[in-house]
Structures are given as structure tokens and as C-alpha cells.
Chains A and B, each alone.
Chain A
Amino acid sequence: MQSSPPRPRQSQIDADLKVTGQVLYAMNVELPGMAYAKCVRSPYAHARIVRIDASRAEALPGVVCVLTRDDITDGRLFPYYGAALKDQPIVAIDKSRHVGDVVAAVVAETPDIASAAADLVEVEYEELSAVFDVIEALQPNAPLVHEDASIYQNIAAALVQPEPGTNLINHMKVRRGDVDRGFAEADVIYEDEYSSPALHHCSMEPHVTVAQWDDEELTIWSATQMPYFVRQQVADVFRIPPAQVHVHVYTCGGGYGAKTYARMEPLTAVLAWKAKRPVRLTLARAEEFVTTTKHEARVRIKSGVKNDGTILARRVEVYYNAGAYGDRSGTIARSGGIGAAGPYRIPNVSVDAYAAYTNRPNAVPFRGLAVSQVAWAYERHTDELARRLGRDPLEYRRANLLVEGDRFATGEQLHDIHFIELMDDAARAIGYDDPLPAPSSPDKVVGRGITALIKHMGSNPATTTLEIRVEADGEVLGLSSTIDIGQGSRLVIAREVARSMGIPEERIRVPYVETDVTPPDQGTSSSRSSFFNALAAKEAAVDVQTQLIQLAAKAYEVPESEVRYEAGQVVVPMASARVQATGSDVEPSPATHAFEMAEVLRAAGVASVTGAGGFRTEIGVDELGQGKASHHWHQAAAGAVVEVDKETGKVTLLKLHLTTHAGRVIDRANAELQNEGCAAMGLSQAMFEEMRFDGGRLINPNLSDYNIASFLDFPLAFTTTLAESEDPDAEVHGLGETGLPAVPPAIGNAVRDAIGVRVSEIPLTPERIIAALEQGGAGVSWNATGLSPLPLGLPLGEG
């Protein structure tokens, strides 16, 4: 064997690409003859499209074509896509449903010409009444964003049932025990309301898609978290078999949910089809703001407790503002509803979670999926409850948090849960039992807060497949359709394949994702990829090892039962004449000979062998939210210390700690990065982030007026803990989202502790702090008109 330079690990290759700026993103793709697209967007929140005249745009030199509703409604295409209800048209057909809704698109030789031409497309609108508030949207006679959502094709019908003739996309219930009786037996009843705003995912890389037709075959390069879903949705638009659509994904410059499901791929594919040229569509930052958002939510939460603090009943109503198109809002309401009562021991629980259309930009999955909104409510509420009982918030939580074997609101028994230990760790980290630091001046006050958090592992049921391919040249490939969105997935796959095959990580290569090569996967979301890939790798390894044994048995003419696989080699008994003929390194009088995998393949005359593995969760809850809602439960706790200036309302974070349950850690640095990243995003949400609207119009669609946390916004005492299991074969717990929802309420609780009045809205801007101080913490009103917050015609439930 000739010596060669040591092979770097996949992780080393990826790291080198990242620090040299050569990592591949969809925006790097350039194809011969490629043209550039620009969207034409509606300035109205809700308007009928009367007429579109593209003639001036088409006449501009350098314009290739303009796409309007006329191109997509003549029967050649199925013009809709969507993550549950296919309610989103390629471009608007009858009306625009939010400010920024795409009503046409231009393809041109350069991005500059495309932009100029987009301004020349004339659209005549007839304004319609619009609705922006999620609770108003559920009132009788509210303007209907979709006249009848039940006419749309529904690919999640088991989970999402819209109410025809209303804006209701889905209503999810959880009913455990009897809350009426619980409240009747309670000594103290406390109810309050919380809200959190719409947010911008703000991945630094925008949505970028390139599409190219070659006869009947379509190739797409896109910044997407879900290549197989995109493939199916686009194939459905053109009514072609999915095998004719080839989706390539390199690395995503951040996702956080913005790049789940189908985004700009259907439009880009249709543009390439009309233009008969490859087309690249890149969204500008202002367009990013109106393309995907996080659900604004309102929560009303009511607890009934005994004087000793035991929680007898909790009732929660949560309203998710879905915006103009449904996307996954229906299932998001389910995910939020399941955990809405919090990680507490409560025998009687009633939750109603609603998702409703409004004329706001589309709300889609966002890191922390639906849990951030309810956690802000239940952890603030539990804090307020503790104070009203005269109890310390930490001690009160210790007394009521779920412990091993307790039943959750879904009726399932919980195991491997550590809420109290996680919370105690966070409390220790922020010095909960120490005296508070003195305020830095007389106008300031200091406070501390603590939270505990439960989150389902999302996307239930879900499937991932992984293949291990051994080639005759010795290369071992780990094939998975998980996308690197920053979590280091290729490293994880390489490591788990190496672990399962018992070979050094240096031998594994993890190719980029393409739907013709890497096996089907539900998508990179829900903090599940490492967990699923680890299990799938284990199964794939068994499969490939079995095949190698079979090949060796045949090639060397020995019984299969005497052949074994061991750490990258196939060990074969020496009795066979064929082995003696081929073995050039025969040890003196051995009982066996160990062949490299590549040698076995060559001896067997095959170019490669591929083992497949998969993992699938099969769980669900019934119409009352009872059953098994998650394969396992994610857990976190956070602690914060703040100083608040009572004159200016400014909040300064002094300490922040996040403790997250990690189970088995595959790669320490990347696991820490996920957890630290969650803390960073949670801090940013608590302190700065909100999309601000004037009616339907977003007034801060840029990074100067919409602020995300920078280096200076982190306290010097910013720490995290990964709580690992001692068992080396423990389950991997996803970390991509878990810690995030624990952070904003920890900061909110600390602010509350400092200023002595309730805070109910985030972000905790100076204006809100001043308002809270002035109003004595009265909190948010449901809506300006004082209408009943409960939707029409729908039963309140038994509680």
C-alpha cells in the first residue's frame, strides 16, 4: 500500500470551507444562459386583482418574460402549493391577501433589469376590508381571507380541519380530567393574559432558488430544509412524477424554519418553465420579512390552586395568527396546544389552541415551534401565581414540576425527565440564593427570574432514512438528506456512521444532498435530525455488514455463519482454498483472515454495497389531545438577572444561563453551539425583536429598525449547561430548539422581580416597561374593540 497524506475528517473539510468562505450555497450556482427573477408585490393587505398589464414591462430591453395569473390558470399547471392546505397560489389569482403578496414575477437578463421591469408591471386593485387581529378574525362577519378553506387540497387532513366560511384553520383541544370540578374545588383562582409578536426568522442567507428545465426534467438548487417535500410539491404543480424533479441542496446559511416546506421553489420552477431559460430568484431582505414570519400569539391562562399551592386545574386558550396562507399553522396550533399547560403536575387540564387566517404575512414554522408563545405565557403566569400565594418562584416550581412517572396533560406517563435538576442548575448558575447585586444607581432596580420548559420532539409522526455505501475503492459514504443549516449535520452523520461501522471517522464522506442520491427524509426541522440519523445509521450498518458477510461467504466459499464483520474488516475462516489463493498477507497458521471491506467487494466482483436504515416514530393523540404526543420530551431551564432603569425603562441583562437536557452528546462543540444559539435567539426575542405593523403594512422591514442581538447585547455572564446522560448509549436529545423558549420568560420573570409589576408582552422594550409601571402591570387588552375573545359557534369545551 503506498502511503498517502492523512485524510481529513468530513468535519475538517467542512470547517475549512466555512472559514475560507468557499462553502457552497445555492446563491453560488451559475448556469449558462441563466436569467434573474424579481417579484411584483401587492401594496394592499386585502384586494381583488382587477387587471394586470405587463406590456410596459415586457417591452423593456432585456426582459425575458413576465408571469401572471393568466399563465397558471389555463389548466396546464396545478397552480397551488402548501404545507398542509394547498392554499397558496404560484402568483395571486383572484386577490392579494397580504401586503407583499406576490401578484406577478419578471425574468430578465440582469437583476437590475428585472427590478426595473417589476416596477413597470401595472396592477389595478380593488381594496377589500382586511383583518389583522387573530381574535377579530374569528368573530362572525370578519372579512374572510379565504372564502372556503375546505376546498383546498389538504395533505394533512388527519391533523388539520379548517372550518368552511370562517378564518379558522384548525382548533386543537386537550382535555384531561374535569377542569370545572378542579376550579370549583380550588381555594384560589388566577387568570391572566399574555402576548408575543410576529417575528422575522432573519437567516443571514435569504431564500435563493435556481431552476433549470432540460426537456421534461427539472433540476432545482435551493436554500431549503426539505428537499423531498419541495420535490413533491413542485412535481404536483407540473403534474409530473417526482422522479423527474431533481433537488440539490448544499449548505443553508441559516434556516430556523424559514426554509421548511416549499417557499420560492414552485414560483422559480414555473418562471424557468415559461422563460425556457434557467432562472435564479433571490429575495432581498425587505422581501424576506414578508415571506415567512413567526406566529404572533395571544394566550389566556387560568389556574385553580389549593392554599398549599397544589395546582388542581389549568385552562389555556391560545390563538396563533397564521397570516394570509395556512402553511403549517394547523399543526403548529396542535404542537402549542399539547404543551400549553407547562411542565407541571396538573390533574385537570383544558386547552383550546386555534390557528386563524388574517391579512398579515404568512406565519410558518419558527425555531421553538409554537412552544415559545405558550412558554412565555405559562412561565410568566406560574411566576405570578407563586407570588400571589406568597411563595418563592423557584421553590413553588420545585413543588409542582413533573417528576419521573408523572402523567402529562396528554395522559402519557413521562420518563427520563429532569425539570427540577435542570432548573436547580440554572438557579445555581445565576446565584439564585445569593443576595442580589446592588443596583448601579438609585433609579435602578435589580431582579432575578427562573423558568422550566417542556417541548415535544416535533413532526410526529416522522421518518428518516440513511444509507451507508461502501465502494470497491474503500470509500465509505454516509448518505442522508439532512441539510447542514449550521448544526454540523455532516459531522454528525459521519460520526454516527463511523461509530456504527466501528471505523475511523476519517474514512467517512458525507456528500451534499440531492434527491437522486441521498435517501428520502421528512426534512431538517423539529430538532430531530441527529436523533433520527443516529438510529438510522445503526440499522444501516447492520444491513451493510450483513451484505458484506454474504458477499464474503460467496466469494471465499465459506459458510456465512463462520464469517463475521469487525471494525471495517470481514473476518473469514482460513480453511478455504480460495482464501489461500488470494491472501497475500497470510499470517503463519492463523484460524482466520481479516479482509478489508474493499477487498471483499473486489473479490465478489461488485462495485459497491449499500445498507439502508431508517427510523420512524408512530405516535399520536386523539381528538381530546390524549395519547402519546412525543417519542421523548425535550427539557430546559433558564435563569436571568436583570437591572431595570425605572426612569427610562431600559433593561440591562446582567446574567443569563440556559441549561438544556442533551441525553447523549455526539459532538460537544456543535451541541454547545446549538444551545448557545438558542440562548442568543431567546435573549434577542425577549429584548428587541418584533415586527411592527401599521394595519397590514410592516413598518420595520430592515435590520436597522428590526433589531437582532449583537455581541454587545450579551451579558458578560452568559453561560450554558448541556445536561448529559451518564449512559453512553442514551438517546440523543435534539438541541436545535429546546433551550430557546425557556429564555424569554426567564428574562421576563427577572424584570417582574425587579420592578414589582407584571409584564405580559415581549419584547421588553423601554416603552413597555414604562407602560407596565404606569399601569401597575394590568397587561394587555385582547383587542381594541373589547370583543369577546372566544370564537363564534365553537363550543367552549367542557371547561
Chain B
Amino acid sequence: MTADEVALTLRVNGAEHQINAPTHHTLLEVLRDQLKLRSVREGCGIGMCGACTVLLDGRPSSACLTLAAMAEGRDILTVEGLGDSANLAEMALAALPPGDPGFPQIHAAADDGKPHKLDPIQEAYVAKTGFQCSYCTPGFILSTKALLAENPDASDEEIREYLAGNLCRCGSYVKILDSVREAITRLRG
């Protein structure tokens, strides 16, 4: 560790990680580059687009505006932490063409060999095709999770207001709204 690095213990998706990071590094950089959590992405770098949304103690936060050091002691949730078990690395690798040099480093949260089971909110987005390029999708899913934890019967108006901080350039808003409504139904029943 160099003079301008700091040793941190970060609790991510239920597991503790000891990392050394430059003091000025953001949570986005640490989650993506050190912990290989690919669902956390940069869109604007200034907290306007929501692509880097993670939940800190259940609240949506822009990881690009959060210093990694400030996230110590908080519960950090990314989309990799949703659903049961993970076989995520295998899923991604299975989609590669035969013989592709591929991704030498893909990390998964856990791998117990079972097929990956989606969270009901993720299932809702699949059911209603609430995405196109999906770069913004993890941010929307986490914001949805926070919204419905707080307000399980959110109205359309409340959904739109809560998700106003997540931008979708592909313009999937109609089906994102459908997905959130579907998630409400699935979580209720």
C-alpha cells in the first residue's frame, strides 16, 4: 500500500472484502475494477444518470460520487447480490462463441453450480422486457428495489418520481414502468 492509499473493509452483497484503494478512488472504481462487479457502470461521472446506482444501507446512491472510503461500514448492494446463488460467470461465458479468447477474468459473487435464480424484480423486468441495451438496467433494478421496499404499492406517479434519477437513453421508459408494476404484483403475491 502506498502513502496515498487506504485500507478498507467493504461489505458488498453480504460478504466482507479487504481492499487497498487510492484515497481518491470512488466506490464505482473499487466495485468495478477491484471487485469485478460488472453491473456497476459509469455513464456520466457526475451523479446525473444513475447508471452507477448501488444501494447503501438500502438507499440508492451514485457510486461515482461516493468515495470508496465513505462506504466503509455501510451495507453495499449491487445487482450481483440479488437472486439466489450465482452461476453468473458461467452464464456470461456460455454466451461466448466457441474458441473465443474470452474474458480471462470474470468474477462471480459465488458459484455453487446451481442455475441462477432471479429476484422477483429481475423476473419482472424480463417478463415485461424493461430494457434494450441494458447499460442502465442494474441501476433501475436497484432503484426499483429501494422504491418497493419503502412503498410496496407505489402509484405510477410515485414510480416515475422515484426513478427520475435513472436515465435510459434507449428510451425504455414505457416498459420500465410496466416492469415496475409487474414487480409490485409479483412481490405482493
* Complex-state Cα separation, A487 to B134, whole angstroms: 10
> Chain B residues with Cβ under 8 A from A709's Cβ?
171
Residue contact A17 to B96, C-beta cutoff 8 Å: no
Query: In angstroms, how far is the closest chain B Cβ from the Cβ of A550?
Result: 25
Residue contact A673 to B97, C-beta cutoff 8 Å: no
Known: A112-B22, A680-B171. A13 touches B48 (CB 8 A): no
Residue contact A712 to B161, C-beta cutoff 8 Å: yes
Q: Please provide the chain B residues from 82 to 102 with a CB less than 8 Å away from any CB of chain A in the complex.
A: 82-83, 88-89, 91-92, 94-101
> Chain A residues with Cβ under 8 A from B95's Cβ?
13-14, 17, 24, 512
> Chain A residues with Cβ under 8 A from B177's Cβ?
711
Known: A20-B79, A21-B138. A517 touches B163 (CB 8 A): no
The yes or no answer to A23 lying at the interface (CB within 8 A) is yes
Residue contact B132 to A486, C-beta cutoff 8 Å: yes
Residue contact A708 to B39, C-beta cutoff 8 Å: no
The yes or no answer to B126 lying at the interface (CB within 8 A) is yes
> Chain B residues with Cβ under 8 A from A711's Cβ?
159-161, 163-164, 166, 173, 176-177
Known: A205-B135, A285-B43. A486 touches B48 (CB 8 A): no
Mask for A512-537, Cβ within 8 A of B = 1, else 0?
10100100000000000000000000
Mask for A698-720, Cβ within 8 A of B = 1, else 0?
00001110001111101010101
Query: In angstroms, how far is the closest chain B Cβ from the Cβ of A157?
Result: 35
Known: A20-B39, A22-B88, A712-B161. A204 touches B51 (CB 8 A): yes
The yes or no answer to A679 lying at the interface (CB within 8 A) is yes
> Chain B residues with Cβ under 8 A from A15's Cβ?
126, 129, 131
Residue contact A13 to B91, C-beta cutoff 8 Å: yes
> Chain B residues with Cβ under 8 A from A29's Cβ?
103
> Chain A residues with Cβ under 8 A from B132's Cβ?
254, 486-488, 670, 673-674, 677
Residue contact A680 to B173, C-beta cutoff 8 Å: yes
* Complex-state Cα separation, A676 to B134, whole angstroms: 15
Residue contact B135 to A204, C-beta cutoff 8 Å: yes
Residue contact B131 to A714, C-beta cutoff 8 Å: no
Residue contact B104 to A19, C-beta cutoff 8 Å: no
Residue contact B44 to A703, C-beta cutoff 8 Å: yes
The yes or no answer to B38 lying at the interface (CB within 8 A) is yes
Mask for A474-506, Cβ within 8 A of B = 1, else 0?
000000000011111000000000000000000
Centre residue among B37, B97, B131 by max chain A CB count within 10 A: B97
Residue contact A24 to B174, C-beta cutoff 8 Å: no
Q: Contact partner of A710 among B38, B164, B174, CB < 8 A?
A: B164
Q: Please provide the chain B residues from 130 to 189 with a CB less than 8 Å away from any CB of chain A in the complex.
A: 131-138, 141, 156, 159-161, 163-177
Q: Contact partner of A30 among B49, B89, B104, B118, CB < 8 A?
A: B104
* Complex-state Cα separation, A670 to B163, whole angstroms: 22
Nearest residue, chain A, Cβ from B78: A21
Q: Contact partner of B169 among A14, A669, A708, CB < 8 A?
A: A708
Known: A24-B95, A676-B171. A512 touches B116 (CB 8 A): no
Residue contact A677 to B38, C-beta cutoff 8 Å: no
Known: A20-B91, A485-B133. A679 touches B171 (CB 8 A): yes
> Chain A residues with Cβ under 8 A from B169's Cβ?
202-204, 254, 256, 681, 708
Q: Please provide the chain A residues from 552 to 594 with a CB less than 8 Å away from any CB of chain B in the complex.
A: none
Give the number of chain B interface residues (Cβ < 8 Å): 71
Query: In angstroms, how far is the closest chain A Cβ from the Cβ of B111?
Result: 13
Residue contact A19 to B163, C-beta cutoff 8 Å: no
Known: A19-B125, A32-B104, A712-B161. A676 touches B174 (CB 8 A): yes
Nearest residue, chain B, Cβ from A512: B97
* Complex-state Cα separation, A517 to B38, whole angstroms: 26
> Chain A residues with Cβ under 8 A from B98's Cβ?
511
The yes or no answer to B61 lying at the interface (CB within 8 A) is no
The yes or no answer to B106 lying at the interface (CB within 8 A) is yes
Residue contact B122 to A704, C-beta cutoff 8 Å: no
The yes or no answer to A18 lying at the interface (CB within 8 A) is yes
> Chain A residues with Cβ under 8 A from B7's Cβ?
none
Query: In angstroms, how far is the closest chain A Cβ from the Cβ of B12?
Result: 13
Q: Contact partner of A19 among B78, B105, B131, B135, CB < 8 A?
A: B131
Residue contact B175 to A672, C-beta cutoff 8 Å: yes
Q: Contact partner of B134 among A253, A708, A716, CB < 8 A?
A: A253
The yes or no answer to A16 lying at the interface (CB within 8 A) is yes
The yes or no answer to A284 lying at the interface (CB within 8 A) is yes
Known: A18-B131, A711-B160, A712-B161. A677 touches B171 (CB 8 A): yes
The yes or no answer to B45 lying at the interface (CB within 8 A) is yes
The yes or no answer to B110 lying at the interface (CB within 8 A) is no
Q: Contact partner of B160 among A112, A712, A720, CB < 8 A?
A: A712
* Complex-state Cα separation, A17 to B165, whole angstroms: 23
Q: Contact partner of B174 among A25, A30, A205, A718, CB < 8 A?
A: A718
> Chain B residues with Cβ under 8 A from A30's Cβ?
103-105
Nearest residue, chain B, Cβ from A286: B45
The yes or no answer to B46 lying at the interface (CB within 8 A) is yes
Residue contact A20 to B88, C-beta cutoff 8 Å: yes
> Chain A residues with Cβ under 8 A from B137's Cβ?
18-19, 21
> Chain B residues with Cβ under 8 A from A25's Cβ?
38, 135
Nearest residue, chain A, Cβ from B138: A21
Q: Please provide the chain B residues from 38 to 59 with a CB less than 8 Å away from any CB of chain A in the complex.
A: 38-46, 48-49, 51
> Chain B residues with Cβ under 8 A from A485's Cβ?
133
> Chain B residues with Cβ under 8 A from A161's Cβ?
none
Q: Contact partner of B167 among A514, A673, A708, CB < 8 A?
A: A708
The yes or no answer to A636 lying at the interface (CB within 8 A) is no
Nearest residue, chain B, Cβ from A202: B169
* Complex-state Cα separation, A32 to B103, whole angstroms: 11
Mask for A595-639, Cβ within 8 A of B = 1, else 0?
000000000000000000000000000000000000000000000
Known: A252-B133, A710-B167, A712-B161. A512 touches B100 (CB 8 A): yes
Residue contact A22 to B91, C-beta cutoff 8 Å: yes
* Complex-state Cα separation, A12 to B79, whole angstroms: 18
* Complex-state Cα separation, A251 to B101, whole angstroms: 16
The yes or no answer to A219 lying at the interface (CB within 8 A) is yes
* Complex-state Cα separation, A202 to B43, whole angstroms: 9
Residue contact B46 to A703, C-beta cutoff 8 Å: yes
> Chain A residues with Cβ under 8 A from B103's Cβ?
24, 28-30
Residue contact A205 to B46, C-beta cutoff 8 Å: no
> Chain A residues with Cβ under 8 A from B129's Cβ?
15, 669-670, 673
> Chain A residues with Cβ under 8 A from B79's Cβ?
19-21
Mask for A661-680, Cβ within 8 A of B = 1, else 0?
00000000110111011111
* Complex-state Cα separation, A704 to B116, whole angstroms: 37
Query: In angstroms, how far is the closest chain B Cβ from the Cβ of A495?
Result: 14
Query: In angstroms, how far is the closest chain A Cβ from the Cβ of B187?
Result: 15
Mask for A314-330, Cβ within 8 A of B = 1, else 0?
00000000000000000
> Chain A residues with Cβ under 8 A from B88's Cβ?
20, 22
> Chain B residues with Cβ under 8 A from A21's Cβ?
37-40, 78-80, 137-138
* Complex-state Cα separation, A43 to B187, whole angstroms: 53
* Complex-state Cα separation, A18 to B95, whole angstroms: 12
* Complex-state Cα separation, A112 to B25, whole angstroms: 10
Report, nearest first, the 6 A-B pairs whose CB atoms are least far apart.
Answer: A21-B39, A680-B171, A486-B132, A486-B133, A253-B135, A677-B171
8 extra A-B contacts, CB within 8 A, seeds A20-B83, A708-B169, A714-B173: A15-B131, A18-B131, A21-B138, A205-B43, A487-B132, A673-B129, A702-B48, A712-B164
Residue pairs across A and B with Cβ atoms less than 8 A apart, 26 shown, are A5-B115, A18-B134, A19-B79, A19-B131, A20-B82, A22-B91, A25-B38, A28-B38, A202-B169, A204-B136, A205-B43, A251-B134, A253-B134, A254-B132, A254-B133, A285-B44, A285-B45, A486-B131, A486-B134, A512-B100, A672-B174, A680-B173, A681-B171, A703-B167, A704-B46, A710-B164
